[in-house]
Amino acid sequence: MILNASGCLDALEAPEVAQSLDAFVTKTVTPQPRQGNRPVRFAETVHGMLNSIGLQNPGIEVFLADKLPRLAELGVPVWVSVGGFAAADYAELCATLDERDEVTTIELNLSCPNVDEAPESAAEIVAAARVATRKPLYAKLSPAASDVAEIARAVQGAGADGLSLVNTIRGLSLDANSLEPTLGTETGGYSGPALKPIALAAIFRCYRATGLPIVGMGGIFTGRDALEFLAAGASAVALGTVLFADPDAPARVRAELMSELSARSLEQAEDARGIAHRSTGLLLPNEKIPGLAPKTEALQAPSRVASIPRRGGNEDSGAGARTISGPADGSSEEGERHPSQASATQEGLESGSRQDRKDPDQSARVCGDREGLRHVDGGPQVRTGEGGALPESGPDQPVEDGRRALGPPAL
């Protein structure tokens, strides 16, 4: 499950790169066209890079008329990143995109360090967007907040379906000779390998705090990096800076990740999710992110049974221990999904309780149709990050409820 980070790939200029992803995330679209920031717009540092693009984009009107139809022809699910300068901008953009079948998922860019922020809180923006669309909403958050988990809980309460973690953080580079800021805007967004531990911490904490699906990003260059993001709690990973250096990175990272999983007797990426939390007993059930069309080249699932050993050895309690077992006959329950089979991405859109999407009173609830995502009875949200004991599922919550797709690795 590999995406690109928003703003790190132009699918129309490099369709072959976009088609090597499981979903393509657009550069952030704003209501009006934006020329972006003045040059210099990027600076390499020892362990990363700074950018100051400033949300250059043609505006929603041109995007919908010119770019979106061509993106849809690529055969890759399209996630549209939207940005604005007030909650109403986001709501307007979401309402417009809601009518477009080509759009699988909407990512709310709530954290661009290179433009002025909206006056409203992240949760207020999500709430406004939630009312405007039934499409899955992912909130892209900055790790620079004093408590990103608190913001994650707030956007979950406001109706976000998932989190994109993390955006860049503000940094400064000085010219080697003049000692003046290298970038035209002085400061910019810092990305690359230096961001990885920061991103991992944000994902780790938000996983516990919300249980929401997370697209993890921030300095992923290798399959090993991707594995760590999954272990921290990500359900999918996105590649950013590495795409600048290596357009072949999606296929390479996917292959490396498969090797990493195989070396640990894990069948698929989902099986690695949350492993970093196993000593706490908190392993959320596997889940699928709507809006991904997994590539099939790595879909030869062995029929072996694998289990994740847990420290503490309380497997008999069923408390979060996740036993992964394949169908007895080794077949896939769900079958392979072809990348061009867009319908695979629609299941999250068509099913379940989406009718509540335009009802703000209900939007604070984690959607019940999120396959495999289970919560303590009566609890509207997972609140495990708020101190106290982590929730232990009771005996009425079997580890395997039979609903989780035991399909081939979704990579």
Partner 1 sequence: MRSRDRLRVLAREGVGAYTLVRLERGSLEPGIPGQFFMVEAPGRLLPRAMSLCIAPAGELGFLLEAIGPGTRALCEVDAGDQLHVFGPLGNGFRLDVDRPLLVGGGIGIAPLPYLAQMLGDPPVLLGFRSERHAAAAALLPNAGVVVEPTYVTEPLAELVEGHDVLACGPEPMLTAVRALAPAAQLAWEAPMACGYGACYGCSVEIDGVLKRLCIEGPVLEAA
Q: How many of the chain's residues bind partner 1 (CB under 8 A)?
A: 33
Nearest to 288 by CA among 235, 339, 237: 235
Q: Is 29 in the site for partner 1 (CB under 8 A)?
A: no
Q: Is 193 in the site for partner 1 (CB under 8 A)?
A: yes
Cβ atoms of residues 181 and 149 within 8 Å? no
Q: Is 363 in the site for partner 1 (CB under 8 A)?
A: no
Strands 49-51 and 187-191, by their bridges, are antiparallel
The whole-angstrom separation of Cα 211 and Cα 126 is: 17
Return the DSSP state at 228.
Answer: H
Q: Nearer to partner 1 by C-beta: 42 or 85?
A: 42
Catalytic-residue membership of 8: no
Q: Is 278 in the site for partner 1 (CB under 8 A)?
A: no
Q: Among the candidate windows 88-96, 124-132, 150-158, 246-254, which touches partner 1 by CB under 8 A?
A: 246-254
Q: Is 224 in the site for partner 1 (CB under 8 A)?
A: no
Q: Is 78 in the site for partner 1 (CB under 8 A)?
A: no
DSSP annotation string for 245-295: H-TTHHHHHHHHHHHHHHHTT--SGGGGTTGGGGGGT--PPP---TT----
Cβ atoms of residues 151 and 123 within 8 Å? yes
Residue with tokens 């896939």: 332
User: Tokens for 228?
Assistant: 């760590």
The whole-angstrom separation of Cα 217 and Cα 238 is: 5
- Taking the complex as a whole, the smallest distance from the CB of residue 246 to partner 1 amounts, in Å, to 7
Q: Is 198 in the site for partner 1 (CB under 8 A)?
A: no
Q: Is 212 in the site for partner 1 (CB under 8 A)?
A: no
Q: Is 74 in the site for partner 1 (CB under 8 A)?
A: no
Q: Nearer to partner 1 by C-beta: 51 or 393?
A: 51
User: Tokens for 117?
Assistant: 């922020």
- Taking the complex as a whole, the smallest distance from the CB of residue 107 to partner 1 amounts, in Å, to 17
Cβ atoms of residues 108 and 137 within 8 Å? yes
User: Tokens for 51?
Assistant: 């950018």
- Taking the complex as a whole, the smallest distance from the CB of residue 80 to partner 1 amounts, in Å, to 17
- Taking the complex as a whole, the smallest distance from the CB of residue 14 to partner 1 amounts, in Å, to 5
* Contact set with partner 1 (CB under 8 A): 7-10, 13-14, 17, 27, 35-36, 38-42, 44-45, 47-49, 51, 53, 56, 176, 192-193, 241, 243-248
